[in-house]
Structure 1
Amino acid sequence: MSSNAAQLPSTYKGLLFASASVPPTITPIPTPKLEHGTVIIRPIYSWIFNYAADIYTNGNPRNYPIQFPVVGGLNGIGRVAAVPPDAGSLKVGDLVVIDPFLKQRDGVHTVNAMALGMAEADHGTWGELIRIPLENALRVDEAALQKRNISLKDLAFFSQLVPPYGGLRDVALTAGETVLIAPATGNFGGAAVHVALAMGARVIAMGRNEAILAELKVLAPGRVDTIVLSGSVEADVANIARYGPVDVFQDWSPPMATNKAHIRAGILSVRPGGRVSFMGNVKDFEIPYGALVYGGLSVKGTLMYTRDQALDLIKLIETGTIKLGPEAGLATNGVFKLDEWEVAFELAAKEAGAGRAVYFAPNQDLI
């Protein structure tokens, strides 16, 4: 199979972060060599996560293990620019989702995010090209998208939808069950509401942002109930009980969470024999041991998702099972060129809520 590697430029432009203490620059980067087991992609849209500024700038206050210099960006969608001789069905021009997690080929659970400057990874998706492992390029049936009027911009929401899908699959959420999601007003928690509805579940969404909770409630009238977090275990348990019983509780608590009453309330609200999905990043939490034992609860911690789960979610999108676009409550609030990084970071932090996204478009000609 022809790789078309010879047609690639010798360099490409990338948003290069020399360190977390100086502003990034648009820098010519040597085009990576195409090797067996890898593929080179031209990113079209890459999600700017709301905490990007606290990873790549501001001195990296989150203390992520980044090895600078690095071109930022974790995920996105793009088109195949070059394929190796050992590629199977993937070909140049194919539309793909870029899976940003490197799985151990001889292991099971450990994953490493690309573009954090890890030794195992090349630069990230905030550039005109990116080289990734062949198995990390997940092909999308573009004809199926066109049939359902799904735009490339809408498809880019995949990056927010796939982590909660992995967690809900891990606890075997089934149609007709009730899932409690908290907090549900952030990007991933809000995406979990969309995914759970597509899986046929009823949702109880908890959060502090009442405006976003109202938006979630109208996604599926009669199937979404909302609760404002109180900060009190007893009050939250009482409020949840109005809509119970709860089959599954999925938690998305961020590392900065100080009041974890909702986590305890969520666990205490799960029916006997129910399941708990931990997908957040809290530092410490005291588990209600007795509730787990006497309730016969199953607890599953999930770090993102598997490749098979990502492929299954692509099928849900291609078949229209999960809806995308503004009419589905998923809105793109900004698309930026790489040199607009500062305003893009600011907007991404501001729009850190359910159903919202801000993107870089490194290859404007592909939009």
Structure 2
Amino acid sequence: MSSSENHGLPASFKGLLFNSPSEPPKVTQLPTPKVDAGSVIVRPLYSWIASYADEIYQNGNPRGYALTFPLVGGSHAIGRVAAVPADATTLKVGDLVAAEPLIRARDDVDSKVLLAIYHGVTEEAQRLSKSQWHNGSWAELVRFPLENVHRFDESALQKQGISIQDLGYFGQFAVPYGGLREANLIAGETVLIAPATGNFGGAAVHVALAMGARVIAMGRNEKILSELRDLTPGRVETVKISGTAEADIAALAKFGKVDVFLDLTPPTATNTEHINAGILSVRPKGRVSLMGGINELTIPYSYISSQSIVLIGAHMNTSEQAEDLIKLIERGVLKVGEKAGLKTKGTFNLEDGVEALKLASKEAGAGRAVFFTPNQE
């Protein structure tokens, strides 16, 4: 396919390809995807590297994520639109956008995959992945569904002094924003976030503050807890996770009843006592938003039923919630970048893939990020 036949795009592009999770990635020339109805080609400027990326794409995939190799890694990205389909009505080539990795089948919302992170275990999800939603954002070009690409108003960003790099945290913010919105968090309420010291937990504190809440941040890393407490003195309280529900309940009781509990416990957690402590600290008719990855959990059933606690399962965020989050950023309500205490620990070319994932595993997390910069401006 010539460039003139595919919206002027080059015939091929560079991507960081993982042939298996047990061998180093290689920068590889790949054929440019076709621009068809319902899809957008994005040119990534900042592609997020999660702290746990080396546990997915390297070291034998110890997290056991359902992935089909070979694949280009990566998930959320900030970039520019490189090509749009005929059915796009507002997006234009050159637009600055956030691109999200959660793909839902248009004829079956129960079938969904995460680009280059989770290809599903059902036949329907795997078919969705194999069709065209397979490779991630660690590349010069990446294809996303039209509904997964959200435009920024660059003039509004300039007024707020927000750089493109500052927007790299968007994916970390969007996920917990979805969980807080599903729980209908209201300004003035108290929200408990646990653990609050990881990629999404730390971001959740920033988002909850922007939504007008008082925050109780729980975690094991006291240094990060201290940093979170300093974000907005008087509106962020911190509690170190003790390992026992009784001690955590007593520590939380000092701050009064909780309106909303946002749980973000990762699938690798071996002690989940803090989850029950969080549930038992929620006020009558309060809400619990479960966004973590725990497979099995014994819950305080009697307390939940007698106190009319509402349990909510939330998986990432919706397209509408992503659009709302962009408004919070554009209007300066949700602060991003260095002025918000967010630190970029490193930016890397695709050729430095192994080094980038190694740094992310050590330095990325709450308030810290590492990015690939596949394209430069």
- Shared fold by TM > 0.5? yes
Normalising by structure 2, we get a TM-score of 0.94
Please name the residue that 2:112 is paired with. Answer: 111
User: What is the 5 A alignment of 1:196-207?
Assistant: 196-207=208-219
Query: Deviation per CA, 1:155-192, whole angstroms, max 9, x where unpaired?
Result: 11001000100000001000000001111011100111
- Per the alignment, in what secondary structure is the counterpart of residue 328 of structure 2? helix
Question: Residue 28 of structure 2 aligns to a residue in which SS?
Answer: strand
1:255 and 2:267 equivalent?
Answer: yes
DSSP 3-state at the match of 2:56:
helix
Corresponding residue for 2:287? 275
Q: Name the residue aligned to 1:228.
A: 240
1:152 counterpart residue number: 164
8 Å CA contact 1:5–1:83 kept in 2: the answer is no
Cα deviation for residue 108 of structure 1 reads 3.9
Shift of 1:110: 4.4
Cα distance in 2, alignment partners of residues 175 and 190 from structure 1: 19
Structure 1 unaligned spans of 5+: none
Q: Which amino acid aligns with 1:298?
A: V
C-alpha separation in 2, matches of 1:112 and 1:181: 26
Aligned-pair CA distance for 1:109: 4.9
Unaligned residue ranges in structure 2 (runs of 5+) = 120-128
Residue in 1 that maps onto 2:350:
338
Q: Alpha carbons of 1:322 and 1:109: their partners in 2 closer, same or farther (altered >3 Å)?
A: farther
The letter for the 2-side match of 1:300 is I
Partner Cα separation in structure 1 for residue 253 and residue 130 of structure 2: 48
The question of whether the paired residues in 1 share the 8 Å contact of 2:25 and 2:354 is answered with no
Q: Which amino acid aligns with 2:239?
A: I
2:83 corresponds to which residue?
A: 82
Report if the CA contact (8 A) 1:5-1:81 is conserved: no
Identity %: 59
1:58 aligns with 2:69: no
The CA distance in 2 between the partners of 1:246 and 1:22, in whole Å, is 46
Map 1:40-59; keep pairs closer than 5 Å.
40-59=41-60
Once residues 187 and 5 of structure 2 are traced to their aligned partners in structure 1, the CA distance between those partners, rounded to angstroms, is: 45
Offset at residue 53 of structure 1 (A): 1.1
Question: RMSD of the TM alignment (CA)?
Answer: 1.3
Note if contact 1:122-1:132 (Cα within 8 Å) is conserved in structure 2: no
Return the alpha-carbon distance in structure 1 between the equivalents of residues 70 and 341 of structure 2. 37
How many aligned residue pairs are there? 363
1:19-30 matches, cutoff 5 A: 19-30=20-31
Q: Which position in structure 2 is the counterpart of 1:327? A: 339
Q: Could you tell me whether the CA contact under 8 Å between 2:46 and 2:372 is conserved in 1?
A: yes
Structure 1 residue 300: deviation in Å?
0.2
CA distance in 2, matches of 1:62, 1:258: 13
Runs of 4+ in 1 over 3 A off after TM superposition: 3-6, 107-110
Q: Which moved more, 1:260-269 or 1:132-141?
A: 132-141
Tell me which of 281, 290, 312 is aligned to 2:302: 290
Contact 1:4 1:92 in 2 (8 A): no
Deviation at 1:23, TM superposition (A): 1.1
Q: Hey, what's the Cα distance between the residues in 2 that align with 1:352 and 1:227?
A: 22
Structure 2 vs 1, CA of residues 109 and 60 (structure 1 numbering), >3 Å: closer, same or farther? same
Q: Which residue of 2 aligns with 1:162?
A: 174
1:76 touches 1:125 (CA, 8 Å); kept in 2? yes
Q: Is the 8 A contact 2:175 2:316 kept in 1?
A: yes
Residue 39 of structure 1 and its aligned partner are, at CA, apart by 1.2
> What one-letter code is carried by the residue in structure 2 that aligns with 1:189?
G
- Identify the match of residue 187 of structure 2 among 165, 175, 183: 175
Determine if the alignment matches structure 1 residue 128 to structure 2 residue 140. Answer: yes
> Alignment partner of 2:108: what SS?
coil
> 1-side partners of 2:112 and 2:210: how far apart?
27
Match of 1:358 in 2: 370
